Structure 1
Amino acid sequence: MTTQTGLNQRQKAAVIVRLLLDDDEVAGLDRLDSDSQTLLAQEMAGMEVIDRQTRDAVITEFCDRLDAVGVTFPGNLDGTLEMLGTRLSDDSTDQLRQRAAMSGQADPWARLCKLPNEALITLAQSESVELVALMLSKLPVEAASATFLALPRERARVVAQAMSMTSGVTPPALKRVGLVLLQAAATLPKPAIATPACDRMGAILNFATADLRDDVLGALDERDADFAAGVRKAIFIFTHIPARVEPRDVPRLVRELDQTTLVRALSSPTEADAAAAEFILSNLSQRMADGLREEREALGKPRPKDVEEAMTEVVSAVRRLQEAGQLILKLPQDEG
């Protein structure tokens, strides 16, 4: 049995944590860094029985220290920004995170992973092959794929070969590479409008009627074929669901939708829309799919406008899930 005399500060901390565990009130241990968590667990592993007198003394000392504290701060940028919440503008928050990453106080890869595809592609085309290989290894798969596919064929081959040498990189070296890439990204020109024009036009056409969308794309083909191709890649409509939504994400998508809206969306008579509807149904449970088919039959022939609006709502639900990080769209395939 340990008495008050032999208790060090870590052991006292372990006693407090042990007492809180009894009430399931230990919140925030995961905010400690891994070394601190490890030390705490090791200290607890080496302790057995603490007498009542020692326990009471540790509690008294702990409470006295709490009473002496006037105000506390998070002690790090992430905690500070979380505490300030929406009181800071998005621009200020972004600048603070960038300065922390550039100074080495935060992980530079967190910033790099949020760069727009255009910036990542520019880095991939201008930086050394070894740095690009490491960058592709750290980026989310979708961003890495888009960046890699945009490279000239010969450079893509060399980068692919360099990927085989990335497995042995150490964490400090990886952080240094991240800082180098982040500094290079900071020198890239920043457009006044962040979203590329083809992406903006594609997003607008997502919600246009099919005949208007086809008319606009036809006009763009005549005036600027490259821009038209970029707009087509940015468009995501109901018929694209089988090619760009993973089968495992279909049940999650369906849960986002009102059942009446879903049944109407599944009722389109066109061949492409019917294929998308069948893709959705085939990736649901047999019971749910049969129920939706029965409701579709009972619905009869809905108005084309209602079907169009329902399909638009399905597309909107996909986009909401994508923005929330609950769904990742596959990259569009080149046409022709």
Structure 2
Amino acid sequence: METTRRAMMAGALMAATAATLPQPAGQSLGNVARRRGIAFGTAMSRRAVAQDPAYASLVASQSTIMVPENELKWYAIRPDPTTIDYSAADDLLDWAEENRLAIRGHNLLWQVERRIPEWQKSFDFGPDPKRTARQMMVEHIERTCRRYASRIQSWDVVNEAIDPADGSLRTTSFSKAFGDSGEMVDLAFHLAKENLPASTELVYNDFMNWEPSNEKHRAGVLRLLEGFRKRNVPVHALGIQGHLGGGGTTGNTSGVGGFGAHDERAWRDFLDAVTAMNYRLLITEFDVNDRFAVAPVAERDAQIAAYAKAFLDVSLSYPQLHSVLLWGMSDNHTWLRGSGSGPRADGLPKRPCPYDDRLQPKPLREALIDALAAAPLRS
């Protein structure tokens, strides 16, 4: 029955994405990136594939890789203590493979209290909570890794374990039951290694960047990465989310084009330190939050493009950076218009993506093209 259901769903998704839309003149983002040895793509959802065939076609035409937006997160797979449901992830991976896209996994452990399943926050872990929590995590990671071992080439094993406020290791209801957040994070990577092919990339993923007030966050991530190496934890790469602009301030003039303050020297120092520890790099969730950009739409789009290109030019100058993924290809498919961020003061919709609501290219697309084309060739 499961095989039949998946075959029927895959056929429906293929029919949906058969609808095409006029593509912008010029090369696809994916092809430009591929010529430099870089994978390019975006997060994607099963709902977008099923309900917006034009968008699905755009994503497929511009990408060489994709990552499920929510479908592999713990709360999606395990909505309650007894349910285990991989159907949404299965359907989305089927669509990616039908469109010849490589696949990243996101994520096996999200170390943020508000992001763990609601049931986990009040779960009775019994008289030996550490044993129960450990068994729960082992079961989840083993089952998920083994299910997709041949289909997913890179995993965000642990997501956002560092508190940006002070650089400390976060705790959650789940890690409190486990008893030691650091031990739990290490175990997640060891479990992933044991249950995935040796070629699978194991990634620590976080949202530190080059903007003001990120100093403690960057320092905390460096301490975590240093600890992994000292303890021989199997971590291959740092995932840089690349959510830019959210910390900007109205009227800032120290950033590119008057939008988005940043510290390039500190960012280079951070990347130098990461790569010196022999970690690879990925940009995993790129977008530019224009909440604080004060300008007419056309000027705002230009500022976003300039700011993005400045960040990408620096980051892509490191040959260890091999993948760039967006967190939404068009403005009508961005998390930043939902609960992910506050509204703009003028009430206008945010425009953080390279395509607009009508799937037309914006200056950010050209900035991506230019930055990718100028990147050093990866071997």
Which has more radius of gyration? 1
TM-score by length of 1: 0.26
TM-score by length of 2: 0.23
Q: Which structure has the highest strand share of the two?
A: 2
Higher relative CO (Cα under 8 Å, sequence separation at least 6) belongs to: 2
Q: Which structure has the highest helix share of the two?
A: 1
